[in-house]
Amino acid sequence: MGIRLDETSNALGYSLSKRLSIILPVYNEKATASLLIDKVLAVSLPGIEKEIIAIESRSTDGTREVIELYAAEKKLKAIYEDRPMGKGHAVKTGLAAATGDWVLIQDADLEYDPADYPKLLAPLGTGAAAFVLGSRHLGHADWRYRRQGTARWIGYFIDCGAWVYTKLFNTLYGVSLTDAATMYKVFERRCLEGIHLESDGFELDFEIVGKFVRKGWIPVEVPVSYESRSFEEGKKVRIWRDGWRVLAAIIRFRFKAL
């Protein structure tokens, strides 16, 4: 028996009137920005209005001109920063401008695939969860997810750090997540109520999850595809600098006021 679409729901179970705000921080991603945006525009989400909010942080490689073209064609809403202030800062700027019922965070590189949007949104649509994480670990035989792109020893080192940080996070926050640091965070906008986000760097990933969990929004994890890129290809996280910031954030936001 086929699935019949009526006035209030589609095959994924969500209301036909939903709007999805896609937060897209962009900095020096000329090589991938156009292709990524085209993929986001092309992904089919029946009954869902996509609001793409690109936060461009004064790139030096021509990325701003790419964003300006899409904005001129009204394919996205662009917010232009005067200077780069960190991915976390850009994400917070986008969240403040979001008007959707649901929010999704998307990087401008091609490490994650927008084709995963339907399964990321499904738990929200069915009411199974208000907060979803796209896990790079689920579906794999071990805890590594950087199998290409990043040099082997660097990828192994980053994976080890991510595993340790996730174990620490789970212990402090009383959860059992496989990938708290994933970029793919999808949630109902009401999850942000009563929460003040502070981080300007990559540590915002853990701050969002930590504060949501403390508010009672326990995420559902779904497996997503992931293809790591190298630092030569534009990867921006820095092991030493960002590693310490993430560690401090995991501990600090467990006990600091929301």
Taking the chain (258 residues) in runs of 10, the rounded mean pLDDT of each run is 34 68 96 97 96 97 97 98 96 98 96 96 96 88 54 64 88 96 96 97 95 98 82 52 86 93
Structural domain containing residue 118: 19-255
| Confidence (pLDDT) at 138 | 86
Flag whether 14 is in a domain: no
What per-residue confidence (pLDDT) applies to 118? Answer: 97
Residue 242 located in a structural domain:
yes
Provide the domain count of the chain. 1
Cα separations (Å) of 24 from 76, 107, 163?
10, 6, 26
The answer to whether 31 touches 110, Cβ cutoff 8 Å, is no
**Is residue 12 in some structural domain?**
no
In-domain check, residue 216: yes
Domain membership of residue 157 (yes or no) is yes
138: helix, strand or coil: coil
Q: Tell me, rounded to whole angstroms, the distance of Cα 142 from its chain centroid.
A: 23
Closest CA to 63 of 116, 117, 107: 107
pLDDT of residue 5: 28
What CATH number should be reported for the domain holding residue 152? 3.90.550.10
Residue 7 lies in a domain: no
Whole-angstrom distance, CA of residue 216 vs CA of residue 122: 20
Task: Evaluate whether residue 29 is within a structural domain.
Answer: yes
> What was the pLDDT predicted at 142?
56
User: What is the Cα–Cα distance from 136 to 144, expressed in whole angstroms?
Assistant: 9
User: Does residue 221 belong to any structural domain of this protein?
Assistant: yes
